[in-house]
Structure 1
Amino acid sequence: MDIPDPSNWWSGGKPLRKERRQQPRAGGNITALTRELSTAEEGQCETEGTSETIAPSSLSELEGCERVSINVSGMHFETQRKTLARFPATLLGDARKRMRFFDASRGEYFFDRNRASFDAILHYYQSGGRLRRPGNVPVDIFLEEIKFYEIGEDVVEGFLEDEGLTREEERPMPSSAFQQQLWLLFEFPDSSSAARVIAVVSVMVILISIAVFCLETLPEFRQETDVHTNDHLASNATHHGGQEPPLWYMDPFFMLESLCIAWFSFELLARFFACPSKTAFYKDIMNTIDLVAIAPYFVVLALELTDQGGNAQQATPLAVLRVVRLVRVFRIFKLSRHSKGLQILGRTLHASMRELGLLIFFLLLGVVLFSSAAFFAEADDPESSFTSIPASFWWALVTMTTVGYGDMSPVTIGGKIVGSMCAVAGVLTIALPVPVIVANFNYFYHREHDEEDRTQYTHVTCGQPVTPVLGENCKDGSKLSLIKSDCSDEEELTPSAYCNFHLEEYTGKLTDV
């Protein structure tokens, strides 16, 4: 009995062509990698000009044409090439881009990057686009990783939105050279020595304005006549021993205020003239604060000028005057333009709006609930200060916030029980959203310091050296762009330096020296 050749068992008597690939050698893997780029996709290999489907049992011999080995800081990963090809615009999905990281001696791709982050990066390809940050990886580190692997701007925006964070947008630069210089002077204090001097002057003027606002309310510097008479209002005048007060425009506080307003107005007009986008200028909250800071001065000036005749009724102008002057206190927020700490606090509050909204909602529920309970618990006491439920709102609020002024307090046993429950509920309500707010503050705080520290390191790139070239936006004369964090204390900035630089191919960062 003739025993059939084992090579015929598979194909029913027809010999199966067997091509066994040699293991790649050092120095020969570049050829293997080049062959991999031109290999047919998903489950097919070319054999002598003909394409035939490879059986599952023979895939182990030809796994080099489908399987990709990736080494991330010593941790090995393996996946199929078709998995990476799902997103061809990314670093791993584009065979030409990832070729720069191919280690010919080991036959694998090597990335000196964060290992814990790569689990999520690889899962992004395997799941078809779902990106989730590992719990043991900080947000800023994971954001650098997804930018390195060129996952995509839309994915980055979605990731930041899922994390409850806002992305720092690129700010366009003016097209005129003079406007660029003016914009850098007033908008980027770290761009040059002159810009730093202007920032210091602006801070000093703000402090003087706030000091004038506070000092003019002292009794020795304030005189307000009876609002029911027709005497002229001189709220900032100095009155000595029955003498007639000086004219309002001769008052020293008014002169200092006028000088401060002149600087604020010049600063606001200069920014408006140099800004590249008037629409974005109107939407900027800092410019709104600048406008609110100078508006009370002109309103008060108009009221004083229209009231010089002394014939108008003073009750209404005085009430309006006090409200308008109260708005001047918002000038203190102008310091946030020059204080990174206040900017971090503002970003934290903006990112925590949902948690703050829940906190206020829970406090309102507690105030209504416990004020109602306290009112009915104290209803039998004739000397109780809980005269109504709205009057009890104040007591419930100061109790839940653990302030406890003591102006209102329960005296009955039922009222004291309600007060105890109100205090405990207030502590729990306030404590719940605090960790989220603190986490957001820590993120923005560390990100700000990381941006400062990043200028002290030299980034070493891998792969072929690539010379940065001017972007197309600079060539055709369109508007330039600048991110505020790009400004550094270590170098003088010029308008020509803010062309929108980009690299022809992103080479990546291996180490920080």
Structure 2
Amino acid sequence: MWTVPKPNYRTGLCTEGEIAVNIGGVRVVLSGDVLKRYPESRLAELLDCSTQNSELISSLCDDFDAGKKEFYFDRDPDAFKCIIDVYYFDEIHIKRGICPICFIKEMEFWKIEQSVLDECCKSYLSEKEEELKEIANKVKVILEDLDVEQCVTRTQRCQKFLWRLMEKPESSLPARVIAIASFLSILVSAVVMCIGTIPELQVADAEGELVEHPTLEAIETTCMLWFTTEFLLRLGSSPNKLRFALSIMNIIDFMAIMPFYVVLSLTHFGSSSMMELVNVQQAVQALRIMRVARIFKLARHSSGLQTLTYALKRSLKELGLLLMYMGVGIFVFSALGYTMEQSHPETLFRSIPQSFWWAIITMTTVGYGDIYPKTTLGKCNAAVSFLCGVIAIALPIHPIINNFVVFYNKQKVLETAAKHEVELMELKSGKQVRRKSKEQLE
């Protein structure tokens, strides 16, 4: 509710103790008592200054009509309607459709502190500021990619060119070809790894044991040589070696390459009788499992997988709630299932920890059937458990999906905004060059 008179949007002269301001064609009459609530604001200064002091008035407003005692401002009237709320409610809300960054500039012009912003608007403002920082970072990356010719030495130019070739598929056609080749190599390597486990395609070695076909091993070796060359070129051309080494995706790349060379070393040492053959075979078998890590290399070439990773990071709270719901349900229903099934002589519920497995596959609606209730109460408990499991899983899913969609759309908008910003900078720089050339000709 309004505790003081509302601002008057009227024509005519203002009475004693009032001030008339014209904001972009919108005339508002404000009470002096209201404006004195914030004596350091621009409007309060206009109220206190004398109409005879034209220099002071000119520094505070764009124009002044002494006859009407009306001050003119070439500002946004919609933003001003939000600004005057501070005099009546001691807080400001940013209306929808107004840019929060521009609104902060309006507040600075009217000399209103940002502390009067409501908490919801402060969070909205911080979100927009983060988006601007992300756009600035993207613009900086784009400009760094365009400034290859500004490198001082030939080595720096070659390093910059090689970095763009290996890391920026959108920079040129050769870079795009390399990215496609890397993507196909990952797929081929993953397919070969799977096909190599088919017994019909394996061959017997000298000891009669089945091993991978030599053709598949040759393909595997070719792919690993490509991965190694690619990784070394990216490492050598990286502008920041430490940051490159600590990157999660680069660690995954290294973990996908390393087992291949360790297996070669162990095989060589084993054949040279430096290690026991049994230990070598066990180590080789364990390291071959690590080849699964190479499938994660696809994330470096897929923006969708990267967006999914970031969305899951932002959904840690929802995922934590899901795990908490499932954990409580698993504990409760496994304990109930164990208790209810003890009366049956052929019970499959030997202990509560063993019942955890039954509760997990029941609540997730998998139901392998290796453990199942045989009593009527146990079956009722199972029915309630999988209904609760469906509800527990369904509740946090929507926020997680929403985070993914919001983050994905946000990244697309930020990338487009960054490209437009670079285009505007290029247009401005082109205009400045043409203007300087004109001045030189004149």
TM-score exceeds 0.5: yes
Q: What 5-or-longer segments of structure 2 have no aligned partner?
A: 1-15, 26-41, 58-65, 88-93, 431-442
Matched, 1:128 2:115: yes
1:474-485 to 2 correspondences below 5 Å = none
Query: How many Å separate the matches in 2 of 1:367 and 1:23?
Result: 67
Higher RCO (C-alpha 8 Å, min separation 6) = 1
- The answer to whether the 8 Å contact 2:231/2:253 transfers is yes
Corresponding position of 1:492: none
Query: How many Å separate the matches in 2 of 1:370 and 1:24?
Result: 67
With over 3 angstroms needed to count, the CA separation of the structure-2 counterparts of 1:438 and 1:321, relative to structure 1, is same
Corresponding position of 1:432: 395
**How far off is 1:438 after superposition?**
1.0
Q: Which amino acid aligns with 2:384?
A: M
Query: How many Å separate the matches in 1 of 2:203 and 2:234?
Result: 38
**How far off is 1:222 after superposition?**
3.4
Matched, 1:77 2:73: no
**How far off is 1:189 after superposition?**
0.7
1:485-504 to 2 correspondences below 5 Å = none
1:296 to 245, 254, 259: 259
**How far off is 1:267 after superposition?**
0.9
Corresponding position of 2:90: none
Please, what is the CA RMSD of the aligned residues?
Answer: 4.6
Query: How many Å separate the matches in 2 of 1:146 and 1:368?
Result: 40
Corresponding position of 1:241: none
Query: How many Å separate the matches in 1 of 2:291 and 2:300?
Result: 17
Query: How many Å separate the matches in 1 of 2:225 and 2:279?
Result: 28
Matched, 1:337 2:300: yes
With over 3 angstroms needed to count, the CA separation of the structure-2 counterparts of 1:170 and 1:69, relative to structure 1, is closer
**How far off is 1:265 after superposition?**
0.9
With over 3 angstroms needed to count, the CA separation of the structure-2 counterparts of 1:316 and 1:132, relative to structure 1, is farther
- The answer to whether the 8 Å contact 2:267/2:280 transfers is no
Q: Which amino acid aligns with 1:220?
A: E
Query: How many Å separate the matches in 1 of 2:229 and 2:257?
Result: 11
Corresponding position of 2:200: 220
Corresponding position of 1:373: 336
With over 3 angstroms needed to count, the CA separation of the structure-2 counterparts of 1:40 and 1:127, relative to structure 1, is closer
**How far off is 1:443 after superposition?**
0.9
Corresponding position of 1:487: none
- The answer to whether the 8 Å contact 2:139/2:419 transfers is no
Corresponding position of 1:416: 379
Corresponding position of 1:179: 159
Corresponding position of 2:188: 208
**How far off is 1:200 after superposition?**
1.0
2:48 to 41, 44, 47: 44
SS of equivalent to 1:467: helix
Q: Which amino acid aligns with 1:467?
A: K
- The answer to whether the 8 Å contact 1:395/1:409 transfers is yes
- The answer to whether the 8 Å contact 1:236/1:253 transfers is no
Query: How many Å separate the matches in 2 of 1:441 and 1:132?
Result: 25
Matched-pair identity in %: 32
Query: How many Å separate the matches in 2 of 1:265 and 1:429?
Result: 45
Q: Which amino acid aligns with 1:436?
A: P
With over 3 angstroms needed to count, the CA separation of the structure-2 counterparts of 1:420 and 1:337, relative to structure 1, is same
Q: What 5-or-longer segments of structure 1 have no aligned partner?
A: 1-16, 27-37, 53-58, 84-113, 161-166, 226-230, 239-250, 470-513
**By percentage of residues, which structure has more helix?**
2
Corresponding position of 1:236: 211
- The answer to whether the 8 Å contact 1:40/1:46 transfers is no
Query: How many Å separate the matches in 1 of 2:326 and 2:127?
Result: 40
Corresponding position of 2:226: 263
SS of equivalent to 1:77: helix
Task: Please report the TM-score for the alignment, with normalisation by the length of structure 2.
Answer: 0.68
Query: How many Å separate the matches in 2 of 1:459 and 1:69?
Result: 28
Q: Which amino acid aligns with 2:362?
A: T
**How far off is 1:456 after superposition?**
9.8
1:467 to 428, 431, 437: 428
1:131-210 to 2 correspondences below 5 Å = 171=141, 176-210=156-190
**How far off is 1:321 after superposition?**
2.4
1:319-358 to 2 correspondences below 5 Å = 319-358=282-321
Query: How many Å separate the matches in 1 of 2:268 and 2:24?
Result: 92
Aligned residues: 364
Query: How many Å separate the matches in 2 of 1:82 and 1:278?
Result: 52
